Copies of this chain bind each other. A is one copy, B any other.
């Protein structure tokens, strides 16, 4: 997909983020320095989706103070970094984008020092938890000190807290659904909206609008747009994880399925006669290419692929309809139109 706000300057947000991280790199001591170095690597190389959304909507709605918006955009990326680092601790993941993540870096270091594997893992988890704490507190601090008028800062802090609470609740729901199993599609969509869509789409869009002085009706509508886009992308990700090329998605094919995650595709397939054969593959880390091809066949034959494609397209369509009257301009408005149309085309 094209990127939101490719036309908007993301430079100022990158600069603000870099300033935040590099001024801390030296550390108050060697341990602190290690945590910040790891955080800098974790924040590096991201697509900056959230800062781009914030800066584009800010520009589209006539916002002029780019320096302030860039600070808040940097805070969005810090928040995202905190969530990613803490998520990896929760999931026990030690790599991200093919290289060691924060906890993986510290685990590796302890192993090389001759520490037993179990203790090295624990050390990695502790480092991930602490680094995530630093990034999270940094996000709140950066919003608080962004330089906007006090009433705007309070409003932004309220939006940030709401997003944090909803995404924490979504994360907890995700783990609980995986414990109990058998979640239905509605529960999964709500969980994904809470866990990801709110902080990744609703929050940056609304924060950019608040900074541009938009009125409440526009802010509310942007929230709706953000949630719809967020869920549409989650559905697309689910499809790409099964039917996409590893080179495009950057994730090993069928990784969610191998982990036994209850995704929308799986939730739909469970309601069809193809489920008994498919169920054998869900949670099997050793699916071979023949098995992978069979999984794709089953998810197609069951109608699950088509159902989720249609659902993604519908979310995209409603998002487009919500966006239209907002008059988001060529940059952001064009991106919403193109991306949501892309969801339909992929279907």
Binding site for B on A (CB under 8 A): 24, 27-32, 34-35, 82, 86, 89-90, 110, 113, 115, 119-120, 122-123, 125-127, 129-130, 132-134, 136-141, 143-145, 150, 153-154, 157, 160-162, 164-166, 168-173, 175-176, 179-180, 194
Given known pairs A129-B86, A145-B157, A175-B126, the reply for A29 and B169 (CB within 8 Å) is yes
Chain B contacts for A90, CB-based, 8 A: 125-126, 129
Chain B contacts for A115, CB-based, 8 A: 179-180
A-B contact pairs, 6 of them (CB 8 A): A35-B168, A35-B172, A127-B172, A137-B161, A137-B164, A140-B141
* Inter-chain contact B130/A172, CB cutoff 8 Å: yes
**Nearest CB of chain B from residue A114's CB, rounded to whole Å:** 9
* Inter-chain contact A123/B171, CB cutoff 8 Å: no
Tell me the complex Cα distance, A133–B143, Å.
17
Partner of A168, one of B89, B133, B145, B166: B133
Tell me the complex Cα distance, A119–B141, Å.
35
* Inter-chain contact B164/A129, CB cutoff 8 Å: no
* Inter-chain contact A166/B126, CB cutoff 8 Å: no
Partner of A133, one of B119, B164, B173: B164
Tell me the complex Cα distance, A90–B128, Å.
11
**Nearest CB of chain B from residue A165's CB, rounded to whole Å:** 5
Partner of A144, one of B35, B113, B153, B176: B153
Given known pairs A144-B153, A175-B123, the reply for A180 and B113 (CB within 8 Å) is yes
Tell me the complex Cα distance, A90–B166, Å.
24
* Inter-chain contact A110/B172, CB cutoff 8 Å: no
Tell me the complex Cα distance, A140–B90, Å.
23
**Nearest CB of chain B from residue A153's CB, rounded to whole Å:** 7
Chain B contacts for A89, CB-based, 8 A: 129
Tell me the complex Cα distance, A110–B166, Å.
21
* Inter-chain contact B134/A164, CB cutoff 8 Å: yes
- Which residue on chain B has the smallest CB distance to residue A191? B31
* Inter-chain contact B136/A166, CB cutoff 8 Å: no
**Nearest CB of chain B from residue A311's CB, rounded to whole Å:** 22
* Inter-chain contact A130/B168, CB cutoff 8 Å: yes
* Inter-chain contact B137/A32, CB cutoff 8 Å: no
Chain B contacts for A28, CB-based, 8 A: 162, 165-166, 169
Tell me the complex Cα distance, A179–B124, Å.
12
* Inter-chain contact B32/A168, CB cutoff 8 Å: yes
Residue among A28, A90, A165 with the highest chain B CB neighbour number at 10 A:
A165
- Which residue on chain B has the smallest CB distance to residue A116? B179
Chain B contacts for A153, CB-based, 8 A: 144
Given known pairs A126-B90, A133-B86, A136-B133, the reply for A172 and B141 (CB within 8 Å) is no
